[in-house]
Amino acid sequence: MGKLTAAVRSPALLCAMAAPVLYLVVNLIAIQAAVADPPGDWMLGPLDRERASARMWTFSIALILAAEAAFLGALDGWLSRRPEVARVVPRAVVGVGYLLSLALAVAADPTSSLWELNDDSALDSLVPAWHFPALVAIGVVSLVAVVGWLVGAGRDRS
């Protein structure tokens, strides 16, 4: 219960921990919107395979990001009992690692043709135009949240 209480006291950390859920929701909505109106019946088979592959990769990436976010929360609770100098460096290392993972997840989006063996992917051309800017916005908000969490780590909690 102590670790959860520590995470709840840090709104910036909660915001950063919400990124995997937002990533999952944005990708699943975009995948569903892309296959809602296929360009032709001949595309249904390949498009269904691409949709299944994109969903599997989306869930896998979101699970990895969620594990990293849970580690951030656990680390925050564990480090809050340490001296101030011993708090900042581990938080910075783990926070930057989390942000790099999130940036990689946004750049290697499962709806792109990167995940297919050939470049004949139709899913990347069918996703809505708001999809990539939404993923970038999740990354930017997470960046601000982790920086806020790191700045808050240097302050004395009372």
Contact 150, 88 (CB under 8 A): yes
> Strand, helix or coil at 89?
helix
Banded model confidence at residue 7, pLDDT cuts 50, 70, 90: very low
pTM over 0.85: no
- Mean pLDDT over the full length of the chain: 79
Select, from the ranges 14-23, 78-87, 104-113, the one with the highest average predicted confidence (pLDDT): 14-23
End-to-end CA distance of the chain: 18
Q: In sequence order, what E strands does the chain have?
A: none
Question: For the residues 24-42, what does the mean pLDDT come to?
Answer: 81
Residue range 54-74, pLDDT digits in tens: 899 999 999 999 998 888 888
